[in-house]
């Protein structure tokens, strides 16, 4: 019995020493500190495990760094998700004058309230201004337009893809201005726990 107790005590001691020697798990998120090309203030741009190496441009005044002290990069990298900028096209009618086309934006781009419709609005305006299209209907995530010939529909599709592939408003998750301003005031680096970050980050699809 005594031998058994000594073996158990030894195992417990080994586990304790192992845990004590294990390195702390932490990571850093690079966040835009101001509006930049193809990015807005508060957008998370990149995540790295600590020790993280950042470039000279990845600091104030352009960026701040949020260090999460109790998780690794794999647990928060989903915060970098982008809008699914997927378009589908359906020819509803065609004659000598042109096409009636339904252009649909992936519904995942539209938030719960339907207020976050920047992509759809820009799409409608662009088709009107570029191709002289007439808007027939304008719904939550689709636009039906009459596009006059001799415009080639394949060219319209390629053009729309190129034009909207780098839409600025493309991050699903973001940190509000107050959180970014706090990081700026702290010199560009803030340490928080994962729970604190989860309470702070915003999801546009919930707005």
Q: How far apart are CA 42 and CA 63, in angstroms?
A: 9
CB 46 within 8 A of CB 82: no
User: Which bin fits 38, alpha (ψ -120 to 50), beta or left (φ > 0)?
Assistant: left
Domains parsed from the chain with CATH numbers: 24-81+171-206 (no CATH), 87-164 (3.30.1370)
The reported pLDDT for the residue numbered 187 is 96
**Strand pairing category for 87-94 and 189-192:** unpaired
**Does pLDDT of 99 surpass 50?**
yes
Question: In the predicted model, what is the mean pLDDT of residues 124-130?
Answer: 83
* Confidence category of residue 108, pLDDT binned at 50, 70, 90: low
Alpha carbons 16 and 205: distance in angstroms, whole number: 44
Confidence of residue 61 (pLDDT cuts 50, 70, 90): very high
């Amino acid at each position: 019995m005594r031998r058994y107790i000594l073996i158990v005590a030894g195992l417990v001691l080994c586990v304790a020493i192992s845990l004590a020697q294990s390195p702390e798990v932490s990571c850093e998120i690079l966040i835009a500190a101001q509006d930049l090309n193809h990015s807005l203030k508060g957008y998370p741009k990149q995540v790295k495990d600590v020790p993280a190496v950042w470039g000279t441009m990845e600091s104030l005044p352009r960026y701040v760094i949020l260090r999460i002290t109790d998780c690794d990069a794999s647990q928060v990298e989903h915060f970098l998700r982008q809008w699914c900028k997927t378009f589908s096209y359906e020819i509803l009618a065609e004659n000598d004058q042109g096409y009636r086309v339904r252009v649909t934006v992936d519904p995942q781009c539209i938030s719960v309230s339907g207020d976050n419709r920047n992509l759809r609005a820009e799409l409608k305006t662009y088709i009107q201004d570029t191709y002289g299209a007439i808007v027939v209907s304008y719904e939550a995530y689709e636009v039906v337009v009459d596009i006059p010939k001799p415009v080639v529909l394949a060219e319209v599709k390629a053009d729309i893809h190129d034009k909207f592939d780098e839409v600025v408003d493309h991050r699903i998750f973001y940190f509000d201005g107050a959180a970014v301003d706090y990081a700026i005031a702290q010199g560009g680096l803030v340490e928080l726990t994962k729970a604190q970050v989860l309470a702070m980050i915003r999801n546009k699809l919930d707005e």
